[in-house]
Amino acid sequence: MINMPAWQRCLDAQFGSPKPGKYRAQPEDFWVDEQLDFTPEAHGEHLWLRVEKRNQTTLDVVKTLSRLCGVTPRDIGYSGMKDRIAITRQWLSVHLPGRDAPFELEQSLNALGVTVVEQVRHPRKLKRGVHRTNRFVLRLSGEAIESEDFVSRWEALCQHGVPNYFGPQRFGHEGRNLQRAEALLNRGWRKRDDRQGMMLSTARSFLFNELLSARIADDTWSQPLAGDTLMLDGTQSVFHIDASDATLQTRAAELDVHPTGVLWGEGEAGEGDAAVYEARLLQDYPGLCGGLERSGVKQARRALRMRLLEPQLAWEPDAVRLSFALPRGSFATAVLGELMLVS
């Protein structure tokens, strides 16, 4: 059985292990705002709601909207999953052709800790992954922020980027989602057993994190290697390189391009120096790799590094407040993991 490892931190070689710290002692310590890069068109069959929720998961809100509006959960769209113990703002859409939302909708949501900030019509359902960034404001406390290297750690992340790990929430409590994924892939993945594809995502996320951890250990995670596939910063555009050169090294140092790691699935094997890390995954985790290939999921790429957007640090009595934005699909917990030890 595969257990959750302790993945490498990029700052340990420079600063040593961080000190223990606290975050999310209360929902107000972890604030997230989902940012679209377009404006709904103000007409159409779908009612788009921008909501602010406290102590509610995205799926909790979906279930509530389904009940209140008399629609099935599949008639409700959302772009990303947001944390429960947090104050989060995000968009959801409800398919309501030819009718308005129930009169009591906002009052009923308010009673559950959900506020409708904005509502507007749009011709299409909100699809997964269409938001551009998430804006975070995090309040941290504890021994970590009292350490003399805390600010230096933060400045290093702002300058050089952050390992783009999938956060621990992807793997469930004590890594139980990973154990479920391993068991499902070993017996043969079937859609009816994993309708949302969560187990496939869990397995791919684990393998990606393993590859990233190995490249951090070798200090190759932020610079292009021969055979790498690079991603342009702020986009999903990728290009393959046969060899690295001074120009690419400079672009990587300036956070213009990032090396990528494989999201395992059907596809061609890598080549060059970068392929060594993929071959190691296949050797160490043949069950996960083989099971993903047999499932039919297509190979994809994910940047090994993320850039902090508009980072800010402000001191408070006995706490520090960090503000930054991340590309969709990136985890604030990966940032925290470089700054402090979290349980």
SS3 218: coil
Cβ-based neighbour number of residue 170 at 10 Å? 21
User: What b/e sequence results for 10-24 when a residue is b if at least 16 CB atoms lie within 10 Å of its CB, and e otherwise?
Assistant: bbeeebeebbebbbb
d(CA 156, CA 163): 12
d(CA 133, CA 329): 8
Whether 218 is a known active-site residue: answer: no
Alpha carbon distances (Å) from 137 to 176, 201, 207, 214, 324: 29, 27, 29, 30, 7
What are the residues whose beta carbons fall under 8 Å from the beta carbon of 286, sequence distance 6 or more? Answer: none
β-pairing, 30-35 vs 87-95, is: parallel
Catalytic residue among 29, 83, 194, 233: 83
Alpha carbon distances (Å) from 38 to 35, 49, 95: 9, 15, 19
Q: Which residues have a catalytic role annotated?
A: 83
